[in-house]
Structures are given as structure tokens and as C-alpha cells.
Amino acid sequence: MSSREHLVFDGCDTVELANTFGTPLYVLSETAIRERCHEVKEDFLHKYPNTKAVYASKAFLTMAMAKIIASEGLGLDVVSGGEIYTAYRAGFPMERTVFHGNNKTLEELQLALETGVGRIVADSESEIDIIEEAARRRGKKAILLLRVAPGVDAETHKYIATGHTTSKFGFSLAGDTLLRTIRRIMASDLLELKGFHSHVGSQLQSNRSHVLAVDALVNEMNLMFKQLGFVTEELNIGGGFGVPQHQGDTRTTLKYFIDPIMSHVTTECEKAGLVRPMIIIEPGRWIVSEAGITLYRVGSIKDVPGGITYVGVDGGMTDNPRPALYGAQYWGVVANKADEPAEKKVTVVGKCCESGDVLMREVFVANTISRDDILAVFNTGAYNFSMASNYNRIPRAAVVLVRNGESHVIVNRQSYDDLLLGEGIPQHLL
């Protein structure tokens, strides 16, 4: 883990990375990403026939990441025109993409059809109109899944629970809206329905919610077959597989989630007299979260009444808003003093003009932590870069991909001039 008292990450000295590329700095391990992709293939794709895995790109997407996912043979889940365009420009096989979203625009749908997106996940009855219009304009048939809310309350933060009956996502299983929508799609020359999609929530530590969702999904498949003769060819059960949230937590294997799901869906389909459809999963955070760290340079160190020591770093909620949004917890190490005992309790804060800009509360670091030290925060590969902002006019951090001692910049650090791109001053103000 450490060499010459420095933290080493995928063969690279993190202090050298910080000094070379500046801070804050996102660092992604290509080796770790590929190891997770291999686990997906070994414990799901190769183990169970008629399956597919699609990386949820909202967790972290750059053109380089799209290339890695493509080379591993996985698909890509996209949720916006920007993510579609990133995948397309990276040369990703667009037939392996799945386009989600609860409010897709006509322009995004046209882009999806133009670039050859493989599946569009329709989220509501009203969205069928705009999908059909996009297909008409492009002269292409839209291949669909319908997102349904299975009515399962996931054991996670309420902001990232998505499968309950009042979720903004998907068709409710109550009433006849889903039945009416499927009937309409089956009668359309511009639309083709392959099956259903569901997602019960994110950062789940238990497999219970996924297993419960299977019951509702198979029941709906059975109802649609009996009432409309519709055969479900594909069933996307989403992702949300959790990663460690605290230092020392055990990593949850993919098998912990997948094996009960596959066993249950197979049994329930047999009971209903249905042929098991293709099962699709969408791991995102689970693939990339632990593959990333963020490097900061320590600035102010302040002792305040109440026994609190604040350690200020040169980043904060602009490069990691999750502690402020969800109460997410992180841990780290002083990278240039990685061998020293971590016995000093501190609260690490960012530089934004917000009292809530706290990255880590009451964590233990090296006793001799001081200005200009490099602080490495672990488990930041997911939803840090992708949720970053320019609040307080702070430039966004660079991203470096490391592999076996080699490092490559895959996203340049923003300059102050970059912050002004697209801005103008009206003539009357000059």
C-alpha cells in the first residue's frame, strides 16, 4: 500500500501524481475497473445463460471510460443526450446502449435513434407520444423497455430509493395504464416492446429488495401474457449494488446479489409457466467507486472550542457534493505519511463558502498532519466527478487514469478561462 511512506495506487506514487498534475485530483485505477468487469462476467454473464450487463454510466463517464467498458464487452446505460454523445464520440458500440430517463426530450430521442441506441426505456404513458414522433421523424423503429415501479421500499437514503409506488420513475403496477400502454405499442409500426425495466434503489447493502421486486415483475409478466399475449423477452432488474460506506466495511460481492435474484426469478417463472427472459443488470457504482481516490492538498488547520480540529483542503463540495447531499461518509490517509499512526481526530472541510462543505467528520489521520500534506480520500470513483460543479467559480478537477505505474490525463483541469466559455457581455454594459 505504501512505499517511502507514500501511498501507492495501482503502482503510482500518489504524492508524485499530486505534484505532477495538481490538486484536487481524481485518480482512477484501470486495473480495479477491469477486475470488477471480470467479476461481472465470471459471476453473472458466464455463469447464467441469456444474460446481459450494462454499466450505469451516470456513476462515472468519460470517453476513456467508455472505451474500457466497450473493451470488456459490457453495455452502457445512458440517461441524457450528453451521455449518448460521449459514448458515440468514443466509438462505443451504440447497439449496446440503453437510454433511460423520466423526461426525455424530443431532441435527445432523435439523437438516440440517429446514433443507434439499442434500447429506449419508456418511463410514462405520455412519453410514448414523443418516442413515436422521434421514430417517425428519423424513419427508424424504436426498441423499447417499459420501466415499472415494483412497489418495493429499498433500505437506503430516501433520495436514492427509486422502486417505491410514489417514485417519479416508471409505470405504477396499479390500475390499467401499463396494460393500455402495452396494447398501444403492440399496435404501432414505429415501436417494438421487448420487456420491462425496474430499479429499486442505490447503494443497497441487502439483496432483499431485489428479490422482492422479482415477485412483482414476474406477476406482471404473467398478467400481460394472459391478457395481451405479450411475451417478455427482456427483464432489466437495474443495479444499486452497494459498496463499503465506512472504513473497514467488507466488500459485497456481486454473487451476494445475483445468485438469489437468479434463483428466485427462475423459480417464479417456472411456477407461472413462463420462459425466463434475458436478465439484464446495470452495475455502476459497484464497478467504479472503489477504483477511484481523490487527492487534496492540505491548507489551514484550525483548533476550535469543543475539541474540534478542522483540516481545510483545496477542494470540497464542488468535487464531492455527496456528503452534503446524502450524508455520505468517506475515509482517507495522509498520502505522504501513509506509514504514520492515524491517531489524530479531525474534521476535513472544503474551501466553499458553505458551513455544510464538510468532506469527512471525525476521522483519524496522521498525528503530524500539516500544511501542504497530500490527503487521499478513498472510494470516490462514483458520483464525484459526475456530480461536480463550479460553485464559487471553482474550476473542476482533472482526472488521471493509472495502470501498473503509468498515468494518463483523461480529463484536463479547468482553467479560469474555461469558466468563462460561453459567456458574453451585452453591448449596453460595455
Residue 114 sits in a domain whose CATH number is 3.20.20.10
SS (H, E, C) 314-336: CCCCCCCCHHHHHCCCCCEEEHH
Cis ω for the linkage preceding 426 (within 30 of 0): no
H helix intervals, 22-159: 30-40, 63-71, 81-89, 106-115, 125-138
For residue 424, tell me if it sits in a domain.
no
pTM of the shown model: 0.93
Whole-number pLDDT of residue 4: 56
Concerning whether 352 is annotated as a catalytic residue, the answer is no
In CATH, what number is assigned to the domain containing residue 342? 2.40.37.10
Q: 301, exposed or middle or buried, with CB in 10 Å at 0-12, 13-18, 19+?
A: middle
Note whether 89 and 63 are within 8 A (CB): yes
For residue 420, tell me if it sits in a domain.
no
For residue 207, tell me if it sits in a domain.
yes
Which residues of the chain have a pLDDT value below 70?
A: 1-4, 153-167
**Which residue among 12, 37, 352, 353 is the active-site one?**
353
250 plus 114 within the same structural domain: yes
Number of domains into which the chain is organized: 2
For residue 428, tell me if it sits in a domain.
no
88 plus 233 within the same structural domain: yes
Helices 208-228 and 177-186: crossing angle, nearest 10°?
60
Q: Which whole-number Å values give the CA distances from 111 to 165, 376, 386, in the listed order?
A: 31, 39, 21
Whole-number pLDDT of residue 208: 85
What is the number of H-type helices and E-type strands within the chain?
A: 12, 21
156 plus 232 within the same structural domain: yes
299 plus 375 within the same structural domain: yes
The DSSP symbol for 136 reads H
Q: Domain of residue 227: give its range.
A: 30-287
